[in-house]
Amino acid sequence: MTATTSMLKARSGVNRFGRTPEKTEEYERIKAALNEEARENWNNETWHREQAAILAQTLDYQVTFQSPFNSYLDVRNVAEFEKVYVSERRGLKVFYTHRGGYIEESQISSENWELPRDTIGFHVSEFEDKLRANFADTLESLAVLGQERLDAEINRRHFTLLQEAIPAASPNYVNAATTGLTPTVLNTALREVKDAIKPTGQGPVPVTIIGRAAAVDQISDFPNFGNETLEEIRTAGRLGNYRGANIVQLINYTDEDGVSFVPENEVYVFGGTVGLFALYGGLQAKTWVENTVDYRHYRARRDFGGLVHHPEQARRIRIA
């Protein structure tokens, strides 16, 4: 295990606000070892490429397996050059007739969508002397901020698509600014979403209520919010469910300037396959030095695509 791998693993297990002396000592020892390794190998471009590859693997794992969007949206991890399609077949009719009677014909029709494909990524540079002084801190910053920003930007894309698919003029948009989130408003949205879900033949389809804390916390004040759900919040830290729908409290995702991009005054209700999102391949990372100045660059990117093809199975509720 390289010093870089050890440091990134140690970073993931360190609580900055409650380290034990043993963890602090180990963490500092690993950072010192990585800084020493960096100074010894600074002019070795093969070593730099190895560090970029380790960073890419770490970020790829964090975004793929530790991000929350898989819990409330249909997200697929596919091969780098795979084309992703959504296909729905309709038109097959079943007729009732007497035994041995003639069965009428019907024709099957298909609707097909191909996911568009975009690239997200980051590109940073730093003066080489500063990097040599404390390489471990820079790598740690890239790992921490890289995960945060990639995670946030993927979620920004999710909600941008939902907002574009359900604009204010849409019949699936509910303006409850005057009343706020009330049982009547939410119950109606849940009922309409459940009625719009297309059967899959695989049993009940989950319905999800999502929003930031300022929005979904209001559900806890509903008169009929069950005691068993309140107990689940206390013991498991989850918001539980309401009328069979899972309640998901969104992280307050912000941009690089700390500005929130998921509105605190909106709640979404959706069920079934409202849309499909795909992460293509793994994270691609590289590092290089400019020819004319002493700046080292780090760049990471990955392909991502998504579409919302059944907005009628979702409700966007404005509550303030």
> What local confidence, expressed as pLDDT, does residue 174 receive?
96
Q: Would you give the DSSP letter of residue 205?
A: P
Tally Cβ neighbours within 10 Å of residue 11.
18
Asked whether 315 and 169 are in contact (CB, 8 A), the reply is: no
Q: How far apart are CA 64 and CA 282, in angstroms?
A: 9
Beta bridge partners of 127: 295
pLDDT, averaged in runs of 10, over the chain (320 residues): 71 52 78 90 92 88 72 82 88 90 90 89 92 89 86 85 92 94 93 86 76 86 65 53 85 83 90 87 90 90 90 92
> What local confidence, expressed as pLDDT, does residue 288 receive?
93
Which one, of 118, 195, 150, lies nearest residue 300 by Cα?
Answer: 150
Strands (E), the chain: 75-78, 85-90, 109-114, 118-127, 173-175, 207-211, 241-242, 245-249, 266-271, 275-289, 295-308, 314-318
Q: How far apart are CA 149 and CA 168, in angstroms?
A: 28
Asked whether 302 and 310 are in contact (CB, 8 A), the reply is: no
Tally Cβ neighbours within 10 Å of residue 14.
16
> What local confidence, expressed as pLDDT, does residue 273 receive?
81
